[in-house]
A = this chain, B = another copy of it.
Amino acid sequence: MTMNIPGKKVDLETIGEDIFRLIEEMYPICRSITGDGVRKTLAILQRHIPMVVHEIPTGTQVFDWVVPKEWNIRDAYIKNPQKKKIVDFHRSNLHVLNYSVPVKKVLPLAELKHHLFSIPEYPDQIPYRTSYYKESWGFCLSHNDLQTLEDGDYEILIDSSLNEGHLTYAEHYIEGKREDEVLVSCHICHPSLANDNLAGIALSTLLAKHINQTQPEYSYRFLFIPGTIGAITWLALNPDVIRLIKHGLVISGGGDGGAFTYKKSRKGDAEIDRSMTHVLEHYGKKFNIEEFSPYGYDERQYCSPGFNLPVGRLSRTPYGEYPEYHTSADNLDFVKVDNLAETFSVLSSLHHTLENNRTYQNTNPRCEPQLGRRGLYDVIGGHSDSKEAHLAILWVLNLSDGDNSILNIAQRSGISFQNIKEAADSLERVDLLEIVGEG
């Protein structure tokens, strides 16, 4: 099923385009950690994969936190002294400080400026700012626009509501042969920001769609949740599922052109960490492996010490390290079909690796078996060049002592998981290996 198998190149481009179109469709919606923007987004995704949508009431205690009031917004603007709309929510939903309380008044520029946010370093870009847990209001605008404002009275409107309601998130579950689960999590709370995280949402959705077409070994659980409070809510409400999670991945970004960046789980040497590292080592593009740190996306919650789940994070350029991050420049021009296709390919290679990892026992452990009479050896000896396929067979035989998974063997030998797996398959077919463990 892997996408990096030659011959499947065309499919991969199609998938990149599918992912991009899904991003495009979600892009205009104003999302937040609660509210109708999330619901509209999930409705779009449901056309691709069936999901269970959960609505958790405001005030629900989730560990140390409380589900907040639900926020919705219809309109927001600033009119200058000449009554001209100089900031308009309908032109960009980044213009409003996300979670702003309703406000409608006229006030002088000096007072208004306390509620205005811009980025002097990137004067063309509208910043993205939030105030979820302190009631406040504000507008975000480009620094260039901010600079042009003249003294006088400004009319402002934020037609929002912040009321008792619900926090909305969705789960897509794929039942595999095993009860053990792979968790894939992405945050769905950002408004019109293409890479962070419409790319992650769309990649997760298409990956789920893809896995649905297979009969996977593991069960898969895809979470579409608001950042932080969503992960906390899910963890608080699903204590019985947590123990089933064997591997997990947070997907954020994925559409920009930067090197792949995998951030390890807190464990640092979990199978997900070794699998993702191996996939990237053999993918043929630049990549970085980051040690775990307790800052970032929802891996922070999954890897909190009371859970310590084996959950890593895949991005391209890490958040905060590109100038478009959390600004209006993270738009549809910033994410590319090719980048999305590559990221999808890496994700499906990871999936392939997790699904196919096994531990075998060599049934003929004393000396090498005679490969030639089993059709597994080039019969004219003396060549000085050794082929990787033959080497893969020798590595699998040598290390299959019951202690090494084929992922371990791939790592130690430097040969790709795919080639090691093929070697193991061919040896299993001639009864030179027997399976002794999954993963």
- Among A34-42, A217-225, A275-283, A363-371, the stretch that binds chain B is A363-371
Q: Which of B64, B134, B398 contacts A294 (CB 8 A)?
A: B398
A395 within 8 A of B: yes
Query: A215 interface residue, CB < 8 Å from B?
Result: no
Number of interface residues of A (CB under 8 A): 62
Cα–Cα, bound, A380→B236 (Å): 25
Is A399 among interface residues, defined by CB-CB distance under 8 A?
Answer: yes
Cβ of A391 within 8 Å of any chain B Cβ, yes or no, is yes
Contact among B130, B325, B368, B381 for A300, CB-based, below 8 A: B368
Asked if B294 and A397 make an inter-chain contact with CB atoms under 8 angstroms apart, the answer reads: yes
A174-207: which have CB < 8 Å to B?
none
A127 sits at the interface (CB 8 A): yes
B320 pairs with A394, CB closer than 8 A: no
When C-beta atoms are compared, the residue in chain B nearest to A319 turns out to be: B384
With CB as the reference atom, state the residue of chain B lying closest to A397.
B294
Contact indicator B380/A63 (Cβ below 8 Å) = no
Q: Which residues of B contact A236 (CB under 8 A)?
A: 366-367
- Whether B367 and A64, one on each chain, are in contact in the complex, defined by CB atoms closer than 8 angstroms, is yes
| A370→B401 contact, CB < 8 A | no
Is A96 close to B, CB under 8 A? no
Interface residues of A in 310-352 (CB under 8 A from B): 319-320, 325-326
Bound: A236/B134 CA distance, A: 66
Given A304-B365, A305-B362, A370-B65, verify A320-B385 contact (CB < 8 Å): yes
Per-residue CB proximity of A355-379 to B under 8 Å, as 1/0?
0000000101111111011000001
Query: Are A366 and B295 touching (Cβ within 8 A)?
Result: no
* Minimal beta-carbon separation of A155 from chain B (angstroms): 24
Chain B residues contacting A293 (CB-CB under 8 Å) are 391, 394-395, 413
Q: Contact between A364 and B129 (Cβ–Cβ < 8 Å)?
A: no
A residues apposed to B, CB below 8 Å: 62-65, 98, 127-134, 136, 228, 231-232, 235-236, 266, 293-295, 300-301, 303-308, 319-320, 325-326, 362, 364-370, 372-373, 379-386, 391, 394-395, 397-401, 413
For the complex of A and B, the 3 pairs showing the least CB-CB separation, nearest first, are A306-B365, A306-B366, A294-B398
